[in-house]
């Protein structure tokens, strides 16, 4: 990587908040994006333009938009989905919906979390 490109990565990275800087492999992936941009041009060295492309278009924006919660494994994924479903149920009860209409069975939770579709109902035995 060219010296000015490396300096730009460092200044950009220092300008990020602490939560972003502490996330695993974000800086590494940002640098990898710059290298891929250089590779796409057929260059062996990532230049400042490659870093600018990586900063503008890639990793940080995508991850901040798409990956808002940390999920350690499939059990954690389903727990997060169950919490979301339960919060919706609580909101329905708060506005006065009939509890018999809001209540869900295990099968309802499996279907809404797509565990049934993914053939992962056994995970609900762990939860």
Per-residue pLDDT tens over the stretch 60-93 = 566 666 666 665 677 777 888 889 999 999 999 9
- The total of structural domains in the chain comes to 2
* Domain identity same for 81 and 120: yes
* Domain identity same for 62 and 10: yes
Confidence of residue 97 (pLDDT cuts 50, 70, 90): very high
pLDDT of residue 100: 93
Structural domain span for residue 13: 3-66
* Domain identity same for 78 and 51: no
* Domain identity same for 22 and 43: yes
pLDDT at 17 over 90: no
Q: Is 80 exposed, middle or buried (0-12, 13-18, 19+ CB in 10 A)?
A: middle
Global pTM reads 0.47
pLDDT at 99 over 60: yes
DSSP per residue over 8-55, as a string?
A: HHHHHHHHS-HHHHTSTTHHHHHHHHHHHHHHHHT-SS--HHHHHHHH
* Domain identity same for 62 and 9: yes
* Domain identity same for 79 and 54: no
DSSP 2: -
* Domain identity same for 17 and 52: yes
């Amino acid at each position: 990587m060219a010296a000015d490109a490396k300096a730009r990565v460092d200044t950009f990275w220092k300008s990020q908040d602490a939560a972003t800087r502490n996330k695993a492999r974000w800086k590494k992936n940002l640098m990898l994006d710059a290298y891929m941009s250089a590779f796409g041009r057929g260059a062996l060295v990532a230049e400042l333009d490659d870093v600018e492309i990586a900063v503008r278009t890639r990793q940080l924006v995508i991850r901040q938009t798409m990956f808002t919660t940390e999920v350690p494994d499939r059990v954690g994924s389903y727990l997060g989905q169950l919490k979301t479903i339960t919060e919706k149920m609580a909101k329905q009860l708060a506005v006065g919906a009939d509890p018999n209409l809001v209540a869900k069975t295990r099968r309802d939770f499996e279907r809404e979390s797509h565990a049934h579709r993914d053939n992962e109902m056994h995970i609900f035995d762990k939860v």
